[in-house]
Structure 1
Amino acid sequence: MHAPQYQITPKLIDGLYTEAMVLADEARSYFDSDRAREISPADVAVAFSCESLKVTTRLMHVIAWLLNQKAIRAGEIHASDIMRELDELGYAPATDDWMVQRMPEEARTLIMASEDLYYRVQRISSHIYAEQENTPMPHRMIERLRQNF
């Protein structure tokens, strides 16, 4: 039987989900704070607003992807019932590193943490789908059964 080279476990999904939720709460708290409103000059303040939206987008895509994976593994959604596009991690624009370097340390930390988490989940997603495409259908079905029991 073809053994997958990469496996996503419920423990990994739960750990990433917890990390994403904590980071989302920290980002919301920081970007909504008075400290964030005091950023200047104007070009950095505008970039700050854009980066806060990028952080939110990254984290929401990660959370949605992880919830989808949880639902698939719980049998609430069958992988064959969803279109691949809906199961892939959504697109999130890259950070403007030059502008981010002009922002407060706490903002930089949150921005970089959201990028790091997003790219880790993106690598996991890519491995899963590359593996599925290269595995013959009977082996995919057997592997799906094995993961569920």
Structure 2
Amino acid sequence: MSGFENRDSDDVVFASAECVSLADFMASGLFQRTYAEGMQLVEETSAYLDGPGREAARGLPREASLAYAGESMRLTTRLMQVASWLLVRKAVHEGEMTVEEANSEKYRLATKEIARQPRFEGAEALPERLQELIARSERLYARVERLDTRLRMTGPVAPAPHPLTESFRRVEAFFREHLAMDFSDQRREFGRRKNRPE
């Protein structure tokens, strides 16, 4: 049973564990959904900011124009962080990178201060499409941040003992004991034969 429960497309509830393994994460299908959503959002945002968004920004009043610049910067920063995190986890799953490398400071989710800042003044006047992209990026970033925390909490798991280990140990001890006794008997017999007059 996976440690994830996907209750809706915008959020993830971790159902049964504080930490999860990358294998569980991948097997749950959550990575594929998050990866697809993240890359799609990157494409949508890029297309909007390079096209309709640029046009919309020209007609904004000064305060909203400043909010547009600040919020669009935060939006792209957030999505760059998410895309980088997803690509690193994919590389680990495909054997191109170790878990230790992926968990290094180099690949840690950064810019959390930027991602969590309150909206800029005048943000409520921003184009509706931009506000939608911002809200989706915030939810996606929060999801990835939770996933990152749980994956980093996963330490090396000690293998569970085989159910027959104790039985094997007893059988081995039995044979060792009897082989030792047989060997002692053979040595005594050999000694008697050696000392027997011919």
When the two structures are superposed, what TM-score results if normalisation uses the length of structure 1? 0.77
- Cα distance, 1:86 vs structure 2: 2.3
- Using a 3 Å threshold, how does the CA distance of structure 1 residues 109 and 76 change in structure 2: closer, same or farther? same
What is the CA deviation profile of residues 99-149 of structure 1, one whole-angstrom value per residue up to 9, with x for unaligned ones?
32121211110111111101111011111113x2xx4x4x17x6xxxxxxx
Distance 1:88 1:35 in 2: 35
- Cα distance, 1:65 vs structure 2: 0.4
- Give yes or no for the alignment of 1:79 onto 2:99: yes
Distance 2:118 2:46 in 1: 18
Higher strand share: 2
Letter in 1 for 2:137: S
- Give yes or no for the alignment of 1:26 onto 2:44: yes
Equivalent position to 1:8, from 25, 31, 38: 25
Give the RMSD, CA atoms, in angstroms.
2.3
- Cα distance, 1:42 vs structure 2: 1.1
Q: How many pairs are equivalent?
A: 134
- Give yes or no for the alignment of 1:63 onto 2:78: no
Structure 1 segments, 4+ long, off by >3 Å, are none
Which of 1 and 2 has greater Rg? 2
Per the alignment, in what secondary structure is the counterpart of residue 43 of structure 2? helix
Higher helix share: 1
Gapped runs of 5+ residues in structure 2? 4-15, 160-198
8 Å CA contact 1:62, 1:121 repeated in 2:
yes
Gapped runs of 5+ residues in structure 1? 143-149
> How much identity, in percent, do the aligned residues show?
29
When the two structures are superposed, what TM-score results if normalisation uses the length of structure 2? 0.60
- Give yes or no for the alignment of 1:48 onto 2:62: no
8 Å CA contact 2:38, 2:82 repeated in 1:
yes
Letter in 1 for 2:30: L
8 Å CA contact 1:51, 1:95 repeated in 2:
no
Distance 2:101 2:48 in 1: 39
